[in-house]
Amino acid sequence: MDTVFVRDGRSFDAGTDTAGRPVWPGPSTIAGAVKAAFGGLEPLEVRGPVLAERRGTGWKPYFPVPSDLVAPFHGTQMLRLRPGELPVGTDLGGDLQWLTASGEAGKGKPVTGWIPGSRLADYLAGRLPQGRTDIAALRRAEPEPVAVETRVGLARTPERTVRPGLLYQAPHLVDRAARAAMARRPGRDRPRPPCRPGPRPPRLRPPADRRTRRPP
């Protein structure tokens, strides 16, 4: 039920930038979580993460809507962008092409949301969409499974006191439907390196009582 905040690789300073930037956790982030969950064993391979919803004894995966699906017809129908000739000349060279939606380029907007794995399989096989197709055929998850919720934070000093004027915003990812970020861990794990004995820590003596301590 808690929120998730995974930052991108860009630098962030609460005194300069007033807002952080959240991202969907990538494979390296999930691999670090898997390593911690399995007692420090480093996984050789991690596939995912994939957003999934528990259905009975199994899980139903969801994926983001592909970026080449656009809705140029008042938001009720969608088309798939196709390579076409460039409308203008460039000096880039090579056989460049322009992604268009049957002459409707520039008049639509990308379709967003999350779709089940079966719908993504139809998209990859070329069965979806077929010409003008209603957006409802995607069977997008409702409501939006991952929402953004802005939290306000305050920077602190090493002594854990408030730094005046250093307010910042950090958008967190909120799961609305009790879904999970799943990852597959095939193969074996790298064994832990052998533990070597380190230097023996110094022996600490209890402080003498002030009432019986002798002057130097």
- Considering the domain boundaries, does residue 70 fall inside one? yes
The structural domain count of the chain equals: 1
Distance CA 76, CA 170 (A): 34
- Considering the domain boundaries, does residue 47 fall inside one? no
- Considering the domain boundaries, does residue 172 fall inside one? no
Supply the Cα-derived Rg of the chain in whole angstroms: 27
- Give the residues across from 64 on adjacent strands: 114
pTM (2 d.p.): 0.67
Q: Which domain holds residue 130?
A: 66-139
Write out pLDDT tens, residues 129-152.
988 899 999 999 888 887 888 888
- Considering the domain boundaries, does residue 170 fall inside one? no
| Cβ neighbours around 169 below 10 Å, total | 13
> Is the CB of residue 186 less than 8 Å from the CB of residue 47?
yes
Write out pLDDT tens, residues 12-26.
665 555 566 677 888
- Considering the domain boundaries, does residue 205 fall inside one? no
- Considering the domain boundaries, does residue 103 fall inside one? yes
Band the pLDDT of 54: cuts 50, 70, 90: confident
In one letter, which amino acid is 35? K
| Three-class SS state of 172 | strand
- Considering the domain boundaries, does residue 72 fall inside one? yes
DSSP string, 74-115: TTTEEEE-EEE--SS--SS-S---EEESTT-TTS--B--SEE
Tokens linked to 203: 């022996």
- Considering the domain boundaries, does residue 88 fall inside one? yes
